[in-house]
Amino acid sequence: MTPEADTGDVVVIGASFGGVEALQRLVAALDPHLKAAVLVCLHVWARAESFLPHLLARAGSLPAHHPRDGDIPRQGNIYIAPPDLHLLIENGRMRLARGPKENRHRPSVDVLFRTAAQCYRSRVIGVLLTGYGADGAAGLAAIERHHGLTIVQDPGESRAPEMPESALRLLKPDYQLSLAEIGPALNTLVRKSAGKQAARRDNVRGCAEENGDAMANEVDRSYSHRDSPTGFICPDCGGALWERDEDGAKKFRCRIGHAYSPESLLDAESESVESALWSAVRSLEESAAIARRVAQLVPGGASEFEQKAEQRQREAEVIRKLIARQSPS
């Protein structure tokens, strides 16, 4: 039996903030005899212990677990990306990689969606749920380009609407559904596609041809000479960023493969600016403290050094107030 022969269709699901509750509700509605493997990417803290397999197994009737590197996705099972590891598909097998972060996340929804689209083509169904940021939009566009099906949760009922909204700005999904509608829709779509054996054999061959080096490609998706240099610096590593189009979505990538949507790049730069401002506060307050100490050691010039300390402290307070006035968004 080939690695792909037991999978049926493949459903890939991406979520971020609010995703635990959304995923529990979704899997509770899935058919216990679902003829598809379900692969899930949820943004989690890198050092967190993940209880999501236990929660999803309790919520529904399908077994849920973290895959091991090289496992074959089996129908009727839910596989969840472990913390701090990309989950991707290579030649019909699940691979785990500590590749460069995409959209400031590892695991990244875009990585899972993109490699699933390259491997399974029309056999993949992509579902994008609640979350902040833009991760998943480009991956969903890749699924659309490979003639898979796309589902986006209605942003109006999402706990965090940014991820669904980002996808809707980039593409017109096959379905825009409420969370209560997504599980039953998946059951119906998987049943309708069951039995298309000829299409599956074609897709298995395509998977081996197009996706065979997915691990190497995803771990090092570096720039090419066709990309446009931006003059911007990668917030993660300090390298130069190149601008490129990926499946109709704009991406910024550095030489080693860190990738950002325009929204995530702006978020990362905002954090860098805040970090620089706090560094300025620290430097000014240290300078004030040194000036006060020098005033104690050099009594003859105490007044001059005290004035300098007060000036540095006032400058630090100006920056502190500037940071405090920034919008939480």
Residues designated as active site: 16, 43, 135
Q: What is the DSSP string of 7-29?
A: --EEEEEEE-TTHHHHHHHHHHT
For residue 32, is the peptide bond before it cis, meaning its omega torsion is within 30 degrees of 0?
A: no
Phi/psi at 4 (nearest 5 deg)? -85, -15
The answer to whether 83 touches 47, Cβ cutoff 8 Å, is yes
Q: What is the DSSP string of 114-155?
A: HHHHHHHGGGEEEEE-S-SSSTTHHHHHHHHHTT-EEEEE-G
Q: For 316, left (φ over 0), alpha (ψ -120 to 50), or beta?
A: alpha
Per-residue b/e over 149-181, b at no fewer than 16 CB within 10 Å? Answer: bbbbbbbeebbbbbbbbbbbebbebbbbbebee
Q: CA angle 102-108-111, nearest 5°?
A: 85
